[in-house]
Each structure stands twice: as C-alpha cells, then as structure tokens.
Structure 1
Amino acid sequence: MERSWDGAAEAADGAREPRRSRRSLLGRPGHERPRRSGIALPDLLALNRMGSFDWNLDSGAFDLDPGGLAVFDLRPEEFDGTRLSLLPRVSQEEGYRLDAVVVQAIQQGRRSCAAYFRIRCRDGTPRWTHAQGRILRNGSGRPYRMAGIVREATAELADSALLNISDEERERQTRLVQWTTTALSRALSVEDVTDVLTAPGGPLRLGADALVLGLVENGVFDVIAATPPLDSVPELLHMPLDRTLPLSDAALTREPSYVTSHEELLQRYPRLRPYVRNISIRSAAFLPLVAQDKVIGALALINTEAKVYTAEDRNLALALAGVIAQSLQRASLFDQEREIATGLQASMLPRRIPAITGGDVAVRYHAARTGRDVGGDWYDVVPLPQGRTGVVIGDVQGHDTHAAAVMGQLRIALRAFAGEGHPPQTVLGRASRFLAELETERFATCTYIQADLASGALSVARAGHLEPLLVDAERHVHWPTVCGGLPLGLATVFGEDHYPETQLFLEPGSTLLLCTDGLVEQPGSDILAGLDALTGAVRDGPGELDDLADHLSDLLWEQPGSPDDMALLLLRRLAEPGGPAMPRIRLRIHQADPTGPAEVRAELRRMLDQWRAGAVAGDVELVATELITNALRHTDSGALVSLELRSGPPDRVRLEVEDGSSHWPRRRNPGETATTGRGLLLVEALSDRWGAEARGAGKALWCEFTVPGPEDS
C-alpha cells in the first residue's frame, strides 16, 4: 500500500539527512508509480496547475518538477536549481515576505508553513500563487529540508468571497479605510474633497497610481479632479453622459467595471484610443458614486501595472467609493448653502469703490472658511464735501446671516451720517444710537476716518476696533496710538457714546491700513503675534496697492479653515512730484487732553527707534517734552507735533511743535532760584540747530539733531 505524504515525512523525521536529489521528490525517474487511470502523479499535479518543490535548507539547492516550473512560468533551461532562478518572476518584496514566513515557522517549531504570493509571468501579467511545504528535521530537531506543493491560486482568490489574505494586508486595508474616512470627514467643500484625493500620495493611499473624479449634473459628466498624466486630456473634462466613456458608463449603469489590461480598456472604450495611446494604463477600476440612492458621479482608480481584482479588492474599492460619495454629497450641500450666504453678504457690501482725488483705495473681503454662515465684517468709502473722503472698517458681532443683516443696516446708516459731513466723533455716536435702537443683541466695532488727502490730515475715531497702521514711502511702519471708545451699541447702553478724535497725517506716498481681526487673529494664537506678522508683511510686501492687498490676503488670511471673516482697506496718498517723501509723522495734542503728551512721547520714541536714531533719541524726546509743555501752558490751543527724518549725509531728525499763538519765543537769563525760563536754553544745548517760523495764525518752533552714523555708535 502506498505511503502517504505525511507518513513519508514522519519516517524521515529523526533519520539522517538523505542525499540531495536534483529532481523533485514526486518527480524522480524510476519512482513514478502509475495510477489506475494510467496518469502518473506529477502529471496529475500538472493537470491541476500544481507542482512540487524540494528545498535543501543546508546547501540552498532548490528543485522544481515540470509542474512547478509551469506554475512559475519558467522553461527548463531558465532554471538552474537555485532560488535565484525565480527572481525574474518573484519580486524582491515578495521574496522577503516569503523568507519571513519560513523563518517564523522554523523559529516557532512548526512542521509546515504556507503563504500566498504574487509572481509576474513572462508577458507581464500578475499571477497569484500558493506554496505549502513540510519542514523536515533531524534527530536533534534541526531543520534541514522543506518539501511541498506550489500551485496557481488566481482563480481561487477571484472566486472566493472570503480571501485568504495575510494579516498585514488586512491591516493595510483597515488603515486605508480609516485614513480615507478621517481625511474626508474634515473636508467641508467639494474643493476640500478633491484636495484630499489629489494631494501628493493621495492616489497611492487608495491603492492606485492615478485617479479621475467627476460629477453628474443635468445629463453632463464634469471631471472635477484628475492627477497626472490623466489631467492632460482637456477634451474629456466636460462631456455628455453616455456609455462611450468608462466613467459616464459607470454612472449610467450604476455598476462598477474593472479592466486588467490596456488592450481590454481600448477594446471596451475605443473612443479613448486617441487620448490614452501614450499613457500607461494596465488596469483600472471605474466606480459609480451613489449617495442616498442617487448617482452623483464616478471615480476611476488607475494602475500602471496589471492587477487582478479579487473579490476583496472589489469590496474595498466599493467601500471607498461609498465614503467618497457621501463626502461629495455633503460638500455639495455645503457649497450651495455657502453660495447663498456669501451672495447675501456680497449684496450688502459696496458694489464699487468711488474714485477719490489725490489717492488710491484697495479693498478685500473674504468670508470665513469654516461654517456655512458668513459674518458681519464690512468696509466703505464715502465721498465727503470739500473734496474729503471718509473710510470705514467694521465688524458686527457674530457669524451668521443675522450678523450680515445687521451689518447691512448699520453700513447704510453710517454712510448717511458721514455723507452729511459730520466729524468722526459725531458719526460714530449716531451710529451707536442707531444700532441700540435696532433692538438687537449684537454690537459692532468700527473705525471711521475723515481724510483730507490734499493736506494729508486724518481725523480718526475708533469704537473698540483695531488701531490703523501707517506705512510711509520708505516702508517704515508704525501703529499710532488712537483714542477710542466702547463698541457701537454697547456705548449707548452704558451711556458712553462719546468718541474722541485723534489727528494723524498721511504723508505723500504713505499708506493707511484698516482691517478686521480676522486678518491677524487665529484661535489659540496671541493677537500680538498676528499684528507683528502683519507689520512684517506690509514692510516686505509689493509696492503696488492692489498687489499689496492680495499679498496680505494670501499670506495672512487664506489658510485652510480660516475661522473668521476678513475685511481689509488700504488708502494711499499719491506721491508729490519730485521724488519720494521723507519719513515723517504728525501728531496733534488737544489742550484738555491730559494723556496727550505721554502718548506723543511714546510715538516719538517708537519712530526714533525704527529710524535707528541711536543716542540722539533721548535728546529729541526731552526737547519735544519741553516744547509741548510750553505750547500747552502758554497758548489757548493745542499743539501739532511733527517728526521728520531728513537724508544726509549726515542724516538729521527734525522736530517741529506748532501752536496757534503769534507770540514769538524769547531767550531768558533765569537766576539761580528761578523755576522757569530755561526751555530755550535746553533746546539750544541739546539740538544742533533750532529756530522759529510763522505759520498762518500761529508759529512753529523747530530744531534738528544729527543722527550718529555706524562709526559713531
């Protein structure tokens, strides 16, 4: 009676190692026992696409019978009795994995091991293969030989509903589904979804080399995303829905289709022949995207290598298509609602910016990138009597359509108050009372500036809003201190609807920047960091006003998931003929403002530091304090302080303090016990030059200080 294979293995256990044979155990000449059917055992194996192998673990010799050679698609002359002969068929990655399976089985003391793996046939097509072998050990338990069966398994895997895939493959597929679900859960818009799928490495995460994604609308198939090289076929991006193309075919039939070769693709869809002639497509899956029983599009996963789509592959592809379909449907609804909301917001903003004399204006508005609703940010430019211009920036509390509606009403009211020619403090006071009378719980921050670009005078009033930024023609940036009050609406509720005005000056070629906090504030970040970033972006940005507005929007605001609206307004005074203006600031101090001198000194200190005035900065601040004190004490008006950097060599700082008195200053000789009369002596001692000039109804005292050069520091 013929001994079974297991019996032969058991008999071999504990025996000395047999002599290595150059032929398979089951295929040795002279040992073939004919079956009753007249077919030898090796031939029976070959009929079932099986063969045997015999691997000497000590010497490394590896024998295959003719059936085994057929499984590996090798000719006898291509096989030299070593595993190296299999390298043209078994990839290095698969070889490492098979070695790991054998080593693990030996280390764990198992008597057999088995594995599925892929080989590449002579014509390039992949073939699933299964090997199972018995590990033979000697009397001391040392393994010296493995013998077993190798067989084709492509049909088995393709027909099996439950694949015998490795734990590593199952883990990979689990990670793939988890990644896709997590990434798409954060995608709000259709653009966000396509960004996830087409990002670097996106197709590979889906198990493909490239992909094409399209949506169906009104009988038309629109491709909305494609990765190279499939994005280079513009003729196929917008086509009627029919069955001549694979994606529209999948959408029409609601059935997935799979192709395993370039020839099969062109045979089924000959219309593609002119477009994919030079594109390597060896296999592809075309999947309908169905959400709530409605076909919304189709997805193509393209591979540049041949691939047999097993049942597990197809189930995984359909699962991914379902996740993508749900995400696209949700994103489409988000885009529709957002379009309605942003349309409402846009209708409430100025449709055009009027031309202004002596200056240019650039404005930008962006709705938040998170949430379906827009907010209450706005801007406005108002022509005023006597050639002046009013500029407004504001933000109504909240991020919903109610905030946008309140913003629209408030903007129109404020524009009407400004158009009547009222000063900024009156405009904001009336706007606050108007908002309080709307009986809404919303408040608003706002800055209103009345600008006379002929002279450069700016009258600024601020209601809880960010201060403006000034940048001169030489790109020196500073944030002037601007007095302010409570936000509009709240100020009236608390009876504090008075807004003090601050006088600033815009030099020729200089720019005023107004913005809402959406440009400089991000959740979890300090707003001071945002203000510093804005300062740097303005300093390093382009010179043209529109280019600068785009630069600020792109650099600071247009980030994924920007949580707030953003309004931006830039006002530039045109440069005077004769070259760029010298860096200069002008600050006004009111007679009854007790904090005015300290605020002016702080601004002077900031500018001198920015101009790198060095040791002379302290002298300038001390002289400025003396001149401001004299102007406020000895006149009935306020003081206008100007600070200017004049190019050298050497560079000089010029300080001017102007008042409304016509009384000319005179030098005194105070005694030792006198408490006054030393002001001009101090000015003369600390400055390099000084003097007085008539200015209409008043006068100006000026003095100049030489800025030390680097060699003097």
Structure 2
Amino acid sequence: MRPGKPVPEVEDVLALLDTGVWHWDATDGRLRLDAESARLLGMPARAAEVPPSRVRALLHPADWNELAEVIRLAAAENALAESRLRVLDDLGHPVRVLRVRCGRPDPLAEPRRLAGTVQQVAEPEPGIRAGRAVTGDRRRAREAFLLDAGLSLAQAESTRDVLRVAAGLSMPGFSPSGLAVFRPDGERLTVVGQRGHPSAEGTPFDRVGRDADCPPAEVIRTGRAVYLSSGEDFRARYPHAWPLVEPFGQRSWAFLPLSVAGRPTGAWMASFSCPVAFTPDERSVLNTVARMLAQALSRAGAADTRRDFTEVLQRSVLPASGPEIPGMTVAARYVPTGGGLGVGGDWFDVIPLPLGRFALVIGDVQGHDGRAAGLMGQVRVALRAYAAEGHRPDTVLARASRFFRDLADIEDDPRFATCFYAEVDPTTGTVESARAGHLDPVVRMADGTSMIRATPGGLPLGIASDDDFPLTRLALEPGDTLMLCTDGLVETGGHDLFSGWDRLRPVLEDATGDLEDLADALVDAVHGPSSHRTVGPLAERREDDSALLLLRRDQPADEARDTTERTSMRRTTLSVAQTEPERVATARAHLTDLLHDWPSDDQRDAAVLLLSETLTNVLLHTDTDALLVAEVTGEPGERRIRIEVRDDADALPHRRRPGEMSSSGRGLLLIEMLADTWGVSPRGRGKSVWFEFYEGSGPGSGPTASPPVPAPGDGPDFGSGAGSGAA
C-alpha cells in the first residue's frame, strides 16, 4: 500500500496470500466464489456463481459429507468452524488439500447465510485424515458429547437422576468406570452418591475429615483439580490415602471441584480402569463436565429439598389414616398439582364423633402455594374443633366461614375455600350434610348406578360472614358408595364439570374391586398411573390438586336378603322445599338418572311426568316441603318402579272432573291413565302419593288396584295444569 493510492479490496489482499473467499446463501442455493477460490477448487480462475453440486463433484465424497456437517454446526451455533478437503482430478486422484474455514458474517443475520475462506495446505501423512488435527472426528465427537451431556443433566430432576446420568456418560476416548460425589458435612466428607464401586467395599474416602490428606478433601479446600495418572502417582502424593483406593483396582483418577457461583460445594471423583494421561484436551472435557454436574446437583438439591418440604407439610395437614367405622369402609386419595411447590389447598378429613357417629370433610382453599396449604391446615383444625363441640353440619360451616373470613381476609391477597361437611350415622346409613360452594356429592348404588346428588348449598367459606348453609339428608342403602371430590379430579385436562363427570361415571359404574381399587381407578382415569404423578412432563400438565373421599356402607353378612336381591334394588330420596321450586327440575333429572337402563322410554317419560305433577301439587296446594322416595326392585325383565312423594299436610288429594277449558284438575287422571297402579297413603303425619310401573307392561294399561281417593271436597285439587307449568 502506497500513500495516495486506493486501498485494495480484501479479496485482492487474500489472493496475494493464495487465499480465496466464498459465500453461501441457502435461500437461493447458490455458492459464490471469487477467482482464487475457483482456481483452488480446479475451476477457471474467475468469479462465479455455481450450485453446490458443481463443487461436490470436485471433492472427495467423505470430505464433502464432513464439510456439510461443519457448515451445519457453524450455522446452528454461530461459531467458527473449519475442515480439510481433498480436491480430485478427473480420474479421482487427490491433487491438493484445502483448508476451509466458515462462519456467519453477521451474528444477527439469517443463520442460512455463511461466508468463509479456502486455502491450500501441505499434503497429510499417508493413512492420516487431514481433518482430524483440527476439526476431525474426535473434536466433533467431543462437542457432540458435551452437548448431549449438558442436555441430559439439565433434564435430571433429582440428585439420584443426576448421578444416574453422570454414571452413564460415555466420554470420547476415555470413559470413567467409577464415580463418586463428595460433599462437606460439618467436619467430615460424606458421599452423596457413587457408581461403579462394589457395595461390599463401600466408597473410597467415605466419612473422612475435611482436613485429611486425601484428594477430595484437598479439592474442596483449594478449589483446584487433582489428576493422578497411575497408582504410583497416587501412592507417592497421598501415601496415607492410597490404602483406601487400592482395593478397588482402578488405574487413574481425576478429582475435580464442584463449584457454584465460584464457591466449591463438593468434589467429583472419576476413576478409570485403564491408564489415562489426562492431556489438555481430556482435562478440558472433564472440567466442562464438572461444571455442568455442579449446576445440575445444585438444581436437583433444591428440588429435593422442596419435595421433602412438600411431603412433610402435606402429611402434617392430611389425616394419616381414618378411624375404623363398624359397617362402613372409607378410602381416600390426594394428588398434588405438578407445578410450584407441589402443595395446595385441597384436603379431606374423617372426624370421630360421639355415639359412634363420624364426620366426613372435603374442601379446597383457593391457590396452589404455601399460603393455601397453611390456610387449609388452620381451617381443618377449626372444623375439627367445631365438630367436637357437637354442632350440626350447617352450624359447623357457618362458624368455619366466619373463622376463615377473619383468617384469610388480607387486602392484597384475599382467599376463599369450598367445603362439604357430612355427618354419618353408620347404624342407619343416614348422612346429614351442608355444602359451601363445593361440588355436589355422588352416590354409586349397589348395582353400579351412579348419580350426582344435587344438594342446596351456601357460598364458599370466607365470602360472607352471615351466610346460611342448608341442611340436606340422604340415606345410604347397604352397598351404596358416597363419593366426595374436589374440582381438580373433575375439571383437569380441559374438561368442565359436565364432560369431567362423563369421564368419571363409567369408571364408577364398571368398578368391580374393593373400595381401594375404585379409588385408584378414579385417580388413574384422570392423572394416569402413579408413576406419572411424581415428576416430569405428565405431572406438569395437572392444573389443580385433587382430593377424593369414598364412603361405602357395607352389606351385612347376616342380612336376611341374599346378595342377588340386595344388588338388584336401587333406592334414592330427594327433598324439595317450598322456597326451592327449581328443584322440581332437579328431581326430574334425578329420576331420569335412576332409570337410565329402563328398557321402555314411554314408561320412563311417564314416570318423570307424574313425578313432576305430584311434586308441583305439594308446592302449590300445601304449605309443607316435599320428599321424593324412588326405588327400582326386582330382576331384569321383572322389575318395578315405585315412586312416592311425601308431605306433612293432612288433607288428601281428590279426583276432579275438569272442564274442557280448565287449566288444572287433570293430575289424578294422568296418574290413573299412565301408571300401572297408584294410591294415596295416610301417614302418622301427612300423606304420601305413590305410583308404580312394571317392566314390560307399558303406560296406559290402567291401574291394577283401586286407590283410596276421597270424595270431592275432602281435600285440595290435584291439578295437571299447574304441575305441567312448573315442569
């Protein structure tokens, strides 16, 4: 370069050094060569744009494959890469060896654009691949190994998983036959884990002092690695420690510090059954693995601590086991969410009460964090205290709501909780319950028929301090199972309450094992087998905790009826209050579920229609509540539906003769036309209107018994118009 002369182009300067420049753009698939690059590749010495296939024809096939891999690596990692290429003549003989270097011209540019240089180098020695000295198989194998090792260690979720991955690492050219991880524990070293050492011999340096003259203690004290290529080196440097490792028959050892944030937290021993020279390249690989191993162990240790905390916390707020209940069987399951702390606000409890009674409680505090778990533990204790005072379910929930409102009403993080509280009498199977914003219970009958028991309820705990929680009563027949659960069991996996119930119902109805098998089947249907409910991707898909509580009334062995007769009967009850006319529709749906397998659609529809008529008559013509009692008895083909609607009014219904334009008065006429038999039965207090259908008879066949119906004027109208309207 002379003063006053133009600065020469970069390509011209490189050409003076016998170095060519090339560009490759994958978007158009063209390779742009300057004159020197073209000459070195055996083409005319002028700039050209050629397809890659033109260059491929001039190179050795193995070298071309290696070049393609090097280019891919450079594009993916934004790194400088290089390779050696043999240029062939027309007969396929090498005429020269080229060194090709490439990289992305702009780190922010499109990764499919590369630039590089090409330069002729000396011929390699016979039998030696030219590329191995710089970027050959060993270097590429080392890079691939480190990438794979980093990915595997990053995915390990526990200390055990990290050690398992580390033991399976196959280092290029020198894989260790044994490893051990040491960590300081007070004044001594403890072995976190080891692989490759016979268990009968223990582990080298187990429980040695931190000040001992041995490699792992020195590494932890100084933070510097120790490499021992032979037993002689080991014995000469650490004569007192040599007897500890001699029985294991290893030939070489590497001790490396495990450092996190620049502070040694432990030591890693890699032992080899064959001599290793520990070249700079091998030491570089070991140091890189040690850094990745230290980070993985740090993450895994934190995860282990979190899991231990979660398990201890959850065990402290959930009952270890329920009490033995004569005539009843209880099964429960809890599956925490897959994210966060793995602990949340779901809980269940079984509380012994005086006189052999007991209470079932299930609930869900809003949130999946430590505060939710803490609130859950406190409200659980409060419910136990209120239950021990002898309060009824509605009073227990009312007091718990006031307690929870004062406890959880924090301005920046208010919480609420849903809860279902039931008091059970094992002798009679009676269940009195109250519900605070929780899911309705489900009853599975002895023959497998499963129904959601719609129950009135109040607001969740903590919403209002003066809310009412209506009391509901149901009776469990021998063989019936009561299912209580939180919404995590129903709504997980994108399901809502309806589709989630459709998923669980076949599991309930098809179950054949004991209550523990049924609990497992319900949880597995939602969360998969237990192996999927620990860590990993499947666990992370769980959006919410799940709690499940099952109660089965056992069938007495000395019961007079045989098993076949017991299991062929299904019975259900439902109350409809004067202030809840909307529950007439609930009763219709309830009866439809009870008759889900009745073969005649006409009979089923007729039964639902007559039920609506009788319930509506009670609400319109009396001042009392109505109680539905429905049962199906008999063997298939000979079954009977019996439906009773009871109330506390003494006046009996009577048959009317409505005019053509009347809007009421046809109720008894409908019953007489559609039911196979029917009647009105006075009771000690009030009355019951009942009707029956027989399988195979069909509606409209007329009554087979004369019902006791009073004369006109003795009681209230029994009208169809008003009843149909309410329906």
The one-letter code matched in structure 1 to 2:546 is M
Question: Does structure 1 conserve the Cα–Cα contact (< 8 Å) formed by 2:357 and 2:426?
Answer: yes
The one-letter code matched in structure 2 to 1:570 is L
Deviation of residue 600 (structure 1)?
1.0
Tell me, what secondary structure is at the counterpart of 2:596? helix
- The equivalent residue for 1:5 is none
Deviation of residue 393 (structure 1)?
1.0
- The equivalent residue for 2:573 is 586
Give the alignment partner of residue 441 of structure 2, picking from 459, 468, 472. Answer: 468
Distance 1:667 1:216, change over 3 A: same
Give the alignment partner of residue 547 of structure 1, picking from 517, 520, 534. Answer: 517
- Counterparts of 1:636-651 in structure 2, within 5 Å, are 636-651=623-638
- The equivalent residue for 2:418 is 445
Distance 1:521 1:322, change over 3 A: farther
Give the alignment partner of residue 687 of structure 1, picking from 675, 678, 681. Answer: 675
Distance 1:136 1:590, change over 3 A: closer
Deviation of residue 374 (structure 1)?
3.2
- Counterparts of 1:622-633 in structure 2, within 5 Å, are 622-633=609-620
Question: What does the per-residue CA deviation read over 1:626-670, in whole Å, with 9 as the maximum and x for residues that have no partner?
Answer: 222233344443222133333424153523224244758576362
Deviation of residue 684 (structure 1)?
3.0
The one-letter code matched in structure 1 to 2:57 is Q
Give the alignment partner of residue 150 of structure 1, picking from 126, 151, 158. Answer: 126
Q: Structure 1 residue 596 and structure 2 residue 561: aligned?
A: no
- The equivalent residue for 2:107 is none
TM-score by length of 1: 0.64
Question: Does structure 1 conserve the Cα–Cα contact (< 8 Å) formed by 2:401 and 2:464?
Answer: yes
Tell me, what secondary structure is at the counterpart of 1:642? strand
Q: Structure 1 residue 241 and structure 2 residue 191: aligned?
A: no
Distance 1:523 1:325, change over 3 A: farther
Cα distance in 2 for partners of 1:693, 1:332 equals 72
- Counterparts of 1:502-517 in structure 2, within 5 Å, are 502-517=472-487
Which deviates more from structure 2 when the two are superposed, residues 510-519 or residues 145-154? Answer: 145-154
Deviation of residue 542 (structure 1)?
5.8
Cα distance in 1 for partners of 2:443, 2:371 equals 33
Tell me, what secondary structure is at the counterpart of 1:617? helix
- The equivalent residue for 1:87 is none
Tell me, what secondary structure is at the counterpart of 1:485? coil
Tell me, what secondary structure is at the counterpart of 1:353? coil
Q: Structure 1 residue 560 and structure 2 residue 533: aligned?
A: no
Question: Does structure 1 conserve the Cα–Cα contact (< 8 Å) formed by 2:216 and 2:255?
Answer: no
Question: Does structure 2 conserve the Cα–Cα contact (< 8 Å) formed by 1:668 and 1:677?
Answer: yes
Distance 1:418 1:706, change over 3 A: same
Deviation of residue 152 (structure 1)?
6.5
Q: Structure 1 residue 329 and structure 2 residue 285: aligned?
A: no
Distance 1:498 1:216, change over 3 A: same
Question: Does structure 2 conserve the Cα–Cα contact (< 8 Å) formed by 1:223 and 1:237?
Answer: no
Cα distance in 2 for partners of 1:238, 1:309 equals 23
- The equivalent residue for 1:362 is 331
The one-letter code matched in structure 2 to 1:335 is D
Cα distance in 2 for partners of 1:111, 1:338 equals 54
Deviation of residue 507 (structure 1)?
2.3
Q: Structure 1 residue 435 and structure 2 residue 404: aligned?
A: yes
Question: Does structure 1 conserve the Cα–Cα contact (< 8 Å) formed by 2:489 and 2:546?
Answer: yes
Deviation of residue 428 (structure 1)?
1.5
Cα distance in 1 for partners of 2:59, 2:129 equals 27
Distance 1:549 1:172, change over 3 A: same
The one-letter code matched in structure 2 to 1:704 is E
- The equivalent residue for 2:685 is 697
Distance 1:680 1:530, change over 3 A: closer
Cα distance in 2 for partners of 1:542, 1:651 equals 24
- The equivalent residue for 1:605 is 592
- The equivalent residue for 1:488 is 461
Question: What does the per-residue CA deviation read over 1:381-413, in whole Å, with 9 as the maximum and x for residues that have no partner?
Answer: 223345432211112223333333322332222
What is the aligned-residue identity percentage? Answer: 35
Question: Does structure 1 conserve the Cα–Cα contact (< 8 Å) formed by 2:229 and 2:275?
Answer: no
Distance 1:514 1:197, change over 3 A: farther
Question: What does the per-residue CA deviation read over 1:453-491, in whole Å, with 9 as the maximum and x for residues that have no partner?
Answer: 333332332222222222222222222222222211112
Distance 1:679 1:521, change over 3 A: closer
Distance 1:166 1:347, change over 3 A: closer
- The equivalent residue for 2:471 is 501
- The equivalent residue for 1:417 is 386
Cα distance in 1 for partners of 2:677, 2:539 equals 56
Distance 1:533 1:700, change over 3 A: same
Distance 1:687 1:533, change over 3 A: same
Cα distance in 1 for partners of 2:86, 2:244 equals 46
Deviation of residue 622 (structure 1)?
0.7
Question: Does structure 1 conserve the Cα–Cα contact (< 8 Å) formed by 2:622 and 2:649?
Answer: no
- The equivalent residue for 1:571 is 551
Which deviates more from structure 2 when the two are superposed, residues 602-611 or residues 216-225? Answer: 216-225
Cα distance in 2 for partners of 1:196, 1:645 equals 61
Cα distance in 1 for partners of 2:178, 2:504 equals 40
Question: What does the per-residue CA deviation read over 1:75-121, in whole Å, with 9 as the maximum and x for residues that have no partner?
Answer: xxxxxxxxxxxxxxxxxxxxxxxxxxxx99861358996999xxxxx
Which deviates more from structure 2 when the two are superposed, residues 426-435 or residues 352-361? Answer: 352-361
Question: Does structure 2 conserve the Cα–Cα contact (< 8 Å) formed by 1:105 and 1:112?
Answer: no
The one-letter code matched in structure 2 to 1:172 is A
Cα distance in 2 for partners of 1:394, 1:431 equals 12
Cα distance in 2 for partners of 1:152, 1:143 equals 18
The one-letter code matched in structure 1 to 2:58 is Q
- Counterparts of 1:383-398 in structure 2, within 5 Å, are 383-398=352-367
Distance 1:150 1:432, change over 3 A: same
Distance 1:467 1:284, change over 3 A: farther
Cα distance in 2 for partners of 1:153, 1:113 equals 10
Question: What does the per-residue CA deviation read over 1:340-370, in whole Å, with 9 as the maximum and x for residues that have no partner?
Answer: 4543443333454233343122233344443
Question: What does the per-residue CA deviation read over 1:178-217, in whole Å, with 9 as the maximum and x for residues that have no partner?
Answer: 5336524xx3x4366568779xxx7579997999776657
Tell me, what secondary structure is at the counterpart of 2:618? helix
The one-letter code matched in structure 2 to 1:628 is L
